[in-house]
Structure 1
Amino acid sequence: MTQRVGSEASTTRTSDGAVEHRPGGLSSAEVAERVARGEVNDVPVRSSRSTADIVRANVFTRFNAIIGVLWVIMLVVAPIQDSLFGFVIIANTGIGIIQELRAKKTLDGLAVIGEAKPKVRRDGTATEVPVSEIVLGDCVELGPGDKIVVDGEVAESESLEVDESLLTGEADPVVKHPGDQVMSGSFVVAGGGAFTATKVGREAYAAQLAEEASRFTLVHSELRSGISTILKYVTWMMVPTAIGLILSQLVVKESDLRGSIARTVGGIVPMIPEGLVLLTSVAFAIGVVRLGRRQCLVQELPAIEGLARVDVVCLDKTGTLTEGGMDVTELRTLGGADEAYVRTVLGALGESDPRPNASLQAIIDAYPDGEEWRCTQALPFSSARKYSGAAFSESDGESSAWLLGAPDVLLPDGDPVLAQTDELNEKGLRVLLLARVDGELDAPGIAERAEAAALVVLEQRLRPDASDTLAYFADQRVAAKVISGDNAVSVGAVAGKLGLAGAEDTVDARKLPAEREEMAARLDEATVFGRVTPQQKRSMVAALQSKGHTVAMTGDGVNDVLALKDADIGVSMGSGSEATKAVAQIVLLNNSFATLPYVVAEGRRVIGNITRVATLFLTKTVYSVLLAVLVVITGIEYPFLPRHLTLLSTLTIGVPAFFLALAPNKERAKPQFVKRVMRYAVPSGIVAAAATFLTYQLARAHYTGPDALGAETSAATLTLFLVSIWVLAIIARPYTWWRIALVLAMGGAFLVVLAVPWLQDFFALRLVGTVMPWTAVGVAAAGGLLVEVAWRWVERRFPV
């Protein structure tokens, strides 16, 4: 949709170097000329990593390099079955690349839908263009909630107020006049106007800000940082152990060189939890794809994890619990005012604001302006002052000035009109006061001189899905706090209609203590807060965080930006202002509050399942390191070839971990990821290593002859498999039919290997006799019981 605004061309600067502003903007020819010169805002706003970055991150890793070298060695010195681990890594890396590319495609598609499109004047016409197509000298229009996407100089100002807090930290809006500078990264909180772009592309800060806000990233995540910490510990353990094992097998033992190399590699490879990082990336990527199908744009991937850890969600009423639109249900005149005249005033007020908010739009729909009144001064709505206004030269030559806003702000305490307002608010209705004033609208104390003329009663449309969503949060023990700029009683009535527990306990934020600790205590007690200023929303988020809460903030209006930025997780509606979408980590493009439970569930699935599979991977690392240490100390041959541990890893870790990582998981996310994983992995790994080494030593004493090593290895493999499958069975709890089937299938696959002759030969597994195989089973059973006891002991001894 376009609008004619003029026809003059414009250039960037005059002969004396000053910025030249013309209302019609650039011509098409001038735009093409600037594009050809490279004077275009061409910094790519990426919603995801590039394809090259994804491939590089999945292929060129420290552990892939180690495994790659070992794989090449095994291809040279051993049969192909001892090189299977290399093919598994290639397959895993391919899976990771494919899943992240799917996530990239999803993110890129959603980012296009949610991309800001500022209005730019060209050839005398105002039209929307992508941010990347703005050129130097463009005339860019501004309205409430618009993000300033390039640097420039103000050309037109209609009470233009800009919030620069994201750049300077200064919370108070700055009034901008023609000639003033505006910086990209700031946003409009009130009024409107236009500015001429003076810096675009990499010279402007906006491109960097937007790119960073929407980048596909896995950093700043407790899960990712925890895994990095674990991998660091693993490296410290692995390097000296691997060196000792190499010396032990190649120098101390006088066996054939090829066999020693194969068993050395067989000892090093399982120390590396190579699939852990892969599965974490895949779990996040699949989460993005799943949420993308619900029109949820995750601008920072850790937000999936973060929302799962949230225990307090702060909700803005308008646009979250209620739909954006409103309807005028009643007009009550006051002080003998003529209703027809009041309707004309309301129509004129609507006509005076080129970008009306939802309340004023409802008034415009109800009272279209029928007379030619000229607006001589306009005061746009501000969340801080809670009212707007305009002065007119009426059709009969008379002059008048009016304010429209919150009755409890414009009227003194005890005014009888407030009793009517309270009565309407208790029914969940929104009430605005129309009042006449004398003097300049922006004069200090103008609201104190207001004379009430009428009450405008508005009915808000409740979101049909809000009630179920609030019930979900209550069921998940996530406290919901409704924080709104509207009257507290009215907000409480709306929340009560939606079934929010504690909705009757309403607090007027103007009476909240300023001291953080006292404010936090009051926030814990109450549920609904009204007449909250934008700065107070920010302070309330900080107060909740000071009490150890993980806070999510939802909103769609410019008054929510500061709180969204400071909250642990910011959630914006797709129909919200460009400023809110720029700072939020999650954007609900379908404007559905009901999408949030799916985001929470996805985060819980990722965290809970990665904790499960991390325990599997780290158990393998622990028992591999300990087995290598025991082998070095005793000076004997390592019990396994790479093919044995490839088989065990596939059946007890690789395949089960993939299914467990992607399964539903509603368990609430818990902190201290590293401690939670290691407290189970360490005892499990110790028991598995001890049981396996005991069986190996018993087998060495039992078997003799040239084929003894193969029989000893088979017995040790049986014990290690049974203990590992026991650990898997514990991790798979609580049981469902498919979890039980998964464990049984892995056990059945191992039995098939033991029973089928060609698989026995392929994997060099052949149980000899009956004494040692049953001894191996007995040792494994004792080990499994020890694992059960150990898990119960650490749960009591090291609770998290």
Structure 2
Amino acid sequence: MTQETQTDDAVDRVLDERRGLSAADVAERVARGEVNDVPVRSSRSVGEIVRANVFTRFNAIIGVLFVIILVVGPIQDGLFGFVIIANTGIGIVQEMRAKRTLDRLAVIGEAKPRVRRDGTTVGVSSHEIVLDDVIELGSGDKAVVDGIVVEAAGLEIDESLLTGEADPVLKQPGDVVMSGSFVVAGNGAFRATRVGKDAYAAQLMEEASRFTLVASELRGGISTILKYVTWVLIPAAIALVISQYRINEDDVPEAIRRMVAGVVPMVPEGLVLLTSLAFAVGVIRLGRRQCLVQELPAIEGLARVDVVCLDKTGTLTEGGMNVTEVRVLDPELPVRAALGALGTTDPRPNASLAAIIEECTAPEGWTETATIPFSSARKYSGATFEVDGVRQSWLLGAPEVLAAHGEPILAEAEDLGAHGLRVLLLVRTDEPVADLTAAYDPARAKPAALVVLEQRLRHDAADTLRYFAEQGVATKVISGDNAVSVGAVAAKLGIPGAEHPVDARTLPADRDAMADILEKNTVFGRVTPQQKRDMVGALQSRGHTVAMTGDGVNDVLALKDADIGVAMGSGSEAARGVAQIVLLNNSFASLPSVVGEGRRVIGNIERVSNLFLTKTAYAVLLAILVVIVNVPYPFLPRHLTLLAWFTIGTPAFFLALAPNKERARAGFVNRVLRTAAPAGFIAGTACFTSYLIARDYYGGTEATRSAETSIATLTLFLVALWVLAIIARPYTWWRVALVATMALGFTLVISVPAFQRFFDLKLVGTTMPWTAVGIAVVAAALIEVVWRWIARRNPLPVVAA
């Protein structure tokens, strides 16, 4: 191949890269399967939802027992199986609803990479990108496929999420771009060389954006509880099986029914279901508020947060800005022309530059020869222009960075910043900007003008900050802007400590020393992206659960390392990609809703856990006592199914979805076991005592077994109803109605002849029923005393309404 031919090929390639692929090129690659076919999943698949709800350890146990009862009969002793089927169906339906909500929100919040097709730039979904597509990049954009840079104007890419290297990498044409990296400065374009599953970070990206059921404190606690239950259940069930077969040798079906009746209530079958249900309903509720929950435990996690780190711009203030004044420092310099010219150097200007573009018109005859894109680490941007044959360089950025120490202009800028204004300094220098990226000398630059910008406070920010303060959640404002200016904005919002802002350039590098300063102060300015990350780590080192909110590329590292990352929907693609929660409506005021949902889930699951584990505790105790005393098990499966309906299953469903503002606390497992175990022990003891007295009173024969079971059922129902009444506190009209309805339902069952026959329950005489009531009253009083004693030793934190 001749040199001339090679040159022609190079020209053709440049032309193709400027125009991008044609529609025919795209169709050809799609037909060959050269498409980015790794979808960003926001939820589990339908198959995964069904499997997770159906194929559980306890469903397997209940399923086997259900089949056994279907064989020996009668059908009313198999009602527990139909309840499990209904509960599992409800769980699947609710999670499917949550999936649809999340999928819809994910589409709304999905970033659209800008791709060149047929000479125009269009936004397409990530999965529509094909091999050889030319993808444009600007500040905050994330590379969704691997490729080769074809254009670069000060293009700096952060690859820390892939390599761990914190420093941005300056990219030139021909350099490699890896999927998962993001742009921190400059702009450019790259050609896709690896798409779909071949891309470097395809699996990473899919996992990062998935609606997950990963480990959380709540789920981990429930798993621990279920592990304990399994350890107790297996030996108790084996002993019960042996006992009932020995007692009922002449009636094997009866022995089987009594054995199943003893094993079924040991299984807290609805606990996992109601946990998933509570989370799913939380996702749906937050979806209605335009909150995309990219990781399910984030709902719970934000409720446990005790420190919220806030980026000022885009979180406390709105994205847009207005130029209120251009204060010229040197009348001989063409200040407005220079500002207008700088506005033309960035095809995707940030909020400050966009305001300057609106204020200053671009001049004629200014030819750009080199640029420095803005970066949060550098704190300035600039460009070199050729004007009438003369080269001149202009820089725009933070006054304290561009001006020499001690310059009077710094005091002027600080005074403006103290009023909550954002101040930028424009300087003129004769040095080419290419020489200024690594080393800038303020002494060789001439201050030209101060650009004063006004930031618009979010109207709902003050109320949201007040909510966090009332809930005992500390707020830390960490911003890249001037510390005095940040402090002024914070003061307007009523943030405590705003009168003493800290310049982050004075912070020590040592984590412990930094943590000491963070504990004592609230507002920090001139914070670099790496410092934001270090601040989050320092707070976590002191035992804090930290949430980070932000919207820009300078927040990505901190968002990633925080316990909970919250990004604005209008923020950079990189910020949205690493956050667990995305506020699609860009409203900071949505955070209390997320906190509220988390508290509802945590508090309510703790409530219903007490119900389920009280049942497990008394079931295990009854099995042990039956084995020791060597008597028939007091119940048939239908009786305990009836009790579960009215004291656990139905009320737990309503309580799991009720409002709850209790603050999240650590120690979920210990707290639940500490209350459920004694309640179950007292309930089981009261029930077995009534049963033994009834056996002695009625004769303990086959003919009197129904009467004896009825007395045991009445006692256990009354005690379990009191447990429900305690758990339902504090009372509201619907909670009182719920408890009363459950009591009425059981009363109908033992009063209506048809129900009596179906459930084989009939109270005989008055002596034993009133004895059962008396025993139940004593047991209820004991449970009340024990729970009050436990509550005094572990008081709830004071929570604002």
Tell me whether 1:404 sits opposite 2:396 in the alignment. yes
Seen in structure 2, the aligned counterparts of structure 1 residues 20 and 362 have a Cα distance that, compared at 3 Å, is: closer
Q: Which amino acid aligns with 1:386?
A: K
Counterparts of 2:480 and 2:228 in 1: how far apart (Å)? 50
Q: Which amino acid aligns with 2:346?
A: D
Counterparts of 2:82 and 2:14 in 1: how far apart (Å)? 63
How many Å apart are 1:447 and its aligned residue? 4.3
Counterparts of 2:417 and 2:582 in 1: how far apart (Å)? 31
Tell me whether 1:445 sits opposite 2:439 in the alignment. yes
- Structure 1 SS opposite 2:205: helix
How many Å apart are 1:634 and its aligned residue? 1.4
Indicate the residue corresponding to 1:419 in structure 2. Answer: 411
- Structure 1 SS opposite 2:433: coil
Retained in 1: the 8 A contact 2:133–2:192? yes
Indicate the residue corresponding to 2:384 in structure 1. Answer: 391
How many Å apart are 1:251 and its aligned residue? 2.8
Indicate the residue corresponding to 1:737 in structure 2. Answer: 733
Counterparts of 2:399 and 2:794 in 1: how far apart (Å)? 57
CA displacement, residues 218-244 of structure 1 (integer Å, 9 cap, x when unaligned): 212111111111111111111111111
Counterparts of 1:706 and 1:71 in 2: how far apart (Å)? 25
Find 1:62's aligned residue among 53, 57, 60.
Answer: 57
Find 1:306's aligned residue among 269, 280, 301.
Answer: 301
Counterparts of 2:468 and 2:58 in 1: how far apart (Å)? 41
Tell me whether 1:375 sits opposite 2:363 in the alignment. no
Counterparts of 2:166 and 2:28 in 1: how far apart (Å)? 40
Alignment of 1:154-165 (within 5 A): 154-165=149-160
Tell me whether 1:202 sits opposite 2:197 in the alignment. yes
Counterparts of 2:323 and 2:472 in 1: how far apart (Å)? 37
Counterparts of 2:749 and 2:472 in 1: how far apart (Å)? 48
Deviates more, 1:168-177 or 1:435-444: 435-444
Alignment of 1:631-780 (within 5 A): 631-704=626-699, 706-780=702-776
Ranges in structure 2 where 5+ consecutive residues have no aligned partner: 1-5, 797-801
* TM-score, scaled relative to structure 2: 0.96
Indicate the residue corresponding to 1:141 in structure 2. Answer: 136
Counterparts of 1:753 and 1:430 in 2: how far apart (Å)? 73
Indicate the residue corresponding to 1:4 in structure 2. Answer: none
How many Å apart are 1:731 and its aligned residue? 0.9
Find 1:511's aligned residue among 506, 514, 522.
Answer: 506
Deviates more, 1:380-389 or 1:38-47: 38-47
Alignment of 1:213-228 (within 5 A): 213-228=208-223
CA displacement, residues 553-585 of structure 1 (integer Å, 9 cap, x when unaligned): 000000000000000000000111110011000
How many Å apart are 1:603 and its aligned residue? 0.5
Q: Which amino acid aligns with 2:653?
A: F
Indicate the residue corresponding to 1:6 in structure 2. Answer: none
Indicate the residue corresponding to 1:3 in structure 2. Answer: none
Deviates more, 1:700-709 or 1:716-725: 700-709
Counterparts of 2:721 and 2:308 in 1: how far apart (Å)? 40
Indicate the residue corresponding to 2:336 in structure 1. Answer: 343
Counterparts of 2:61 and 2:677 in 1: how far apart (Å)? 24
Counterparts of 1:218 and 1:372 in 2: how far apart (Å)? 59
Counterparts of 2:470 and 2:619 in 1: how far apart (Å)? 43
Retained in 2: the 8 A contact 1:226–1:674? yes
Indicate the residue corresponding to 2:614 in structure 1. Answer: 619
Indicate the residue corresponding to 1:478 in structure 2. Answer: 473
CA displacement, residues 591-620 of structure 1 (integer Å, 9 cap, x when unaligned): 111111100000000001001101110110
Retained in 1: the 8 A contact 2:370–2:434? no
Indicate the residue corresponding to 1:578 in structure 2. Answer: 573
CA displacement, residues 437-478 of structure 1 (integer Å, 9 cap, x when unaligned): 121224243242221100000000111111111111111111
Q: Which amino acid aligns with 1:382?
A: S
How many Å apart are 1:282 and its aligned residue? 0.5
Counterparts of 1:246 and 1:194 in 2: how far apart (Å)? 72
Counterparts of 2:349 and 2:250 in 1: how far apart (Å)? 86
Counterparts of 2:523 and 2:515 in 1: how far apart (Å)? 14
Percent identity between matched residues is: 70
- Structure 1 SS opposite 2:775: helix
Retained in 1: the 8 A contact 2:97–2:284? yes
Counterparts of 2:620 and 2:547 in 1: how far apart (Å)? 42
How many Å apart are 1:798 and its aligned residue? 6.5
Deviates more, 1:38-47 or 1:788-797: 788-797
Find 1:259's aligned residue among 251, 254, 257.
Answer: 254
Q: Which amino acid aligns with 1:513?
A: P
Q: Which amino acid aligns with 2:427?
A: A
Counterparts of 2:296 and 2:489 in 1: how far apart (Å)? 33
CA displacement, residues 613-636 of structure 1 (integer Å, 9 cap, x when unaligned): 011101101110111011111111
* TM-score, scaled relative to structure 1: 0.96
Retained in 2: the 8 A contact 1:45–1:207? no
Q: Which amino acid aligns with 2:729?
A: R
Retained in 1: the 8 A contact 2:371–2:434? no
How many Å apart are 1:741 and its aligned residue? 1.4
Tell me whether 1:356 sits opposite 2:349 in the alignment. yes
Counterparts of 1:745 and 1:692 in 2: how far apart (Å)? 22
Q: Which amino acid aligns with 2:164?
A: G
Indicate the residue corresponding to 1:86 in structure 2. Answer: 81
Indicate the residue corresponding to 2:484 in structure 1. Answer: 489
Seen in structure 2, the aligned counterparts of structure 1 residues 797 and 501 have a Cα distance that, compared at 3 Å, is: closer
Q: Which amino acid aligns with 2:439?
A: G
Retained in 2: the 8 A contact 1:337–1:454? no
Retained in 2: the 8 A contact 1:155–1:179? yes
Deviates more, 1:353-362 or 1:764-773: 764-773
Indicate the residue corresponding to 2:22 in structure 1. Answer: 27
Counterparts of 1:677 and 1:550 in 2: how far apart (Å)? 23
Find 2:227's aligned residue among 214, 232, 257.
Answer: 232
CA displacement, residues 708-764 of structure 1 (integer Å, 9 cap, x when unaligned): 111111111111111111111111111112111111111121111121111111111
CA displacement, residues 137-163 of structure 1 (integer Å, 9 cap, x when unaligned): 111111110001101111111111110
Counterparts of 1:250 and 1:425 in 2: how far apart (Å)? 85
CA displacement, residues 55-100 of structure 1 (integer Å, 9 cap, x when unaligned): 1111111111111111122122122211111111111011000000
Retained in 2: the 8 A contact 1:44–1:211? yes
Deviates more, 1:311-320 or 1:753-762: 753-762
Indicate the residue corresponding to 2:182 in structure 1. Answer: 187
Q: Which amino acid aligns with 1:445?
A: A
Counterparts of 2:144 and 2:21 in 1: how far apart (Å)? 18
Indicate the residue corresponding to 2:3 in structure 1. Answer: none
Q: Which amino acid aligns with 1:723?
A: V
What CA RMSD, in Å, does the superposition of the two structures yield over aligned residues?
1.6
CA displacement, residues 270-293 of structure 1 (integer Å, 9 cap, x when unaligned): 111010000000100011100001
Deviates more, 1:761-770 or 1:607-616: 761-770
Find 1:499's aligned residue among 478, 494, 498.
Answer: 494
CA displacement, residues 651-686 of structure 1 (integer Å, 9 cap, x when unaligned): 111111111100111111111211111111111111
Counterparts of 2:32 and 2:130 in 1: how far apart (Å)? 10
Indicate the residue corresponding to 1:429 in structure 2. Answer: 421
